[in-house]
Amino acid sequence: MRSRRSTPERPSPERKSLRVNLVNLGCPKNQVDAEVMLGQLEAAGYQIAERPEQADLIVVNTCAFIQEARAESVQAVLEAAELKRTGACRTVIVSGCLAQRYGEELPGLLPEVDAFVGTGEFPRIVDIVQATLRTRGETRRWITGHTALVTAELPRRRLTPGHYAYLKIAEGCDRTCTFCAIPGIRGPMRSRRREDIIAEAGRLAAEGVREVVLVSQETTSYGADLDDRHALVRLLEGLMAIPALRWVRLHYLYPTRITPELLRLLGSEPRLCRYLDLPLQHCDGTILAAMRRGGNEQSLRRLLDRVRQAVPDITIRTSFIAGFPGETPRQFAGLLAFVEAMQFDRVGVFCYSDEEGTAAAALRPKVSRRTAAARRARLMAAQARIAEAKGRALLGSVQEVVVDGPSPDFPEVQCGRTARHAPEVDGTVYLCGPRAGPGTLVRARIREAFEHDLTAEIIEIVGEPWPTAQG
């Protein structure tokens, strides 16, 4: 697999001495872009610094999805600019969605930044760094009207533990959800070639990855731009042909595109995690119509029944928006009752906020932020009770768990996940018993259950640790 990568040019002495740090913000899709930039910089001979204060050059890979994400991105840029002001670093580059969305305005607002790099230019990061270093003192912009597709040839320096990786299968989105700015930032849906994705997955497996998480803006539409309505199932079948991959997980699925073929594969293939990340956003038909998502409570109930009948042990993660414009107390009460009735395994709830350039920003009447926050709290409290009950139902059972490594909060405690837990978003299984390295698969008996997390005792180490080599 490695032979497909281009051979990097011989590093210059300047590159060998230049230390680069990348600060990544946002979703796993953004993280893949960051990993590609790091991989190219490392292949070109630049040193990778673990912390910004150790770096000569800082790249801030930003998110601009919602107001809170933009504020976090701007704060990270200002922190990097402060390091430049004090002489701790020489150059600051801002990449990602914030640069893409506000490329015209940002140079005037953030004059400390040396270059702005849009989502279409990250595969050229080495050339951009070189050009920026040559013209220090002059702000440069590399922003085009499209988003680049990751390819198997591009090197990656992964930011995840060695045994799992995110695998981006498409870029952009053709949906017109009225609350979402992503199509305006990332552009229309473009799918990677199936052969290219499988080649990258094979390379990741050779590097020690045993779990891949498929991500895109809308995974169930994979291949629609290629006129192949069965493209996702064919891709999954191709990934199943890589023996070293133990778990394959799906994220970001659109409700109306869950096909019988996909459900059959989920129910029959043990290495395909029985896990659906299925953002519903609401259940009221009027609200869903205003969101341009369609459907209603009855159609969503039928969908969920169909999924659970086809895959009885499925784990369903979803998300909802509280306080969408026009949401009445009665509509919210219906959403709360829906959540309580459907007994989802995982739920995330977000307070609606106006996003400039989206159709929902013009909708009236607005729901106050205070009311939206109160509604979110009620939904999360209801889900907490459901999650605790689901956790208690596992007490005494023996589960297969992958060890992720020491807990960030309690380094003496090992933590891991079952196939029902997606990395970084779904809680942790805290483990006691014999020590096992990251990537080791164990069987563990569940001893305690909390809202998000479990504790368990290791009763058997299933096999050798999954390799943890990084690419």
pTM for this prediction: 0.92
Same domain, 378 and 421: no
Same domain, 388 and 408: no
Same domain, 365 and 404: no
The range of the structural domain enclosing residue 453 comes to: 398-461
Q: How many CB atoms lie within 10 A of CB 280?
A: 24
| 155 domain-assigned | no
Give the CATH number of the domain where residue 107 resides.
3.40.50.12160
| 8 domain-assigned | no
Under 8 Å between Cβ of 213 and 249: yes
The closest of 315, 318, 295 to 307, measured between CA atoms, is 315
- pLDDT of 87 reads 87
- pLDDT of 464 reads 61
- pLDDT of 57 reads 97
| 470 domain-assigned | no
- pLDDT of 429 reads 97
Under 8 Å between Cβ of 316 and 345: yes
Same domain, 454 and 350: no
Same domain, 243 and 272: yes
Under 8 Å between Cβ of 66 and 353: yes
Number of separate domains in the chain: 3
Task: Name the helix (H) or strand (E) containing 448.
Answer: strand 441-449
CA angle 283, 287, 291 (to 5 degrees): 105
Same domain, 431 and 344: no
Task: Please report, in tens digits, the pLDDT of each residue of the chain (471 residues total).
Answer: 233 344 445 555 556 679 999 999 999 999 999 999 999 999 999 999 999 999 999 999 999 988 889 999 999 999 999 999 998 899 999 999 999 999 999 999 999 999 999 999 999 999 999 999 988 767 789 998 878 999 999 999 999 999 999 999 999 999 999 999 999 999 999 999 999 999 999 999 999 999 999 999 999 999 999 888 899 999 999 999 999 999 999 999 999 899 999 999 999 999 999 999 999 999 999 999 999 998 999 999 999 999 999 999 999 999 999 999 999 999 999 999 999 999 999 999 999 999 988 999 999 999 999 999 999 999 999 999 999 999 999 999 999 999 999 988 888 899 999 999 999 999 999 999 999 989 899 999 999 999 889 999 999 998 665 544 443
Which of 340, 373, 392 corresponds to the end of one domain?
392
Main-chain phi, psi angles of 281, to 5 degrees:
75, -35
| 88 domain-assigned | yes
Cα(242)–Cα(165) distance, integer angstroms: 15
- pLDDT of 469 reads 41
Same domain, 198 and 100: no
- pLDDT of 297 reads 98
| 154 domain-assigned | no
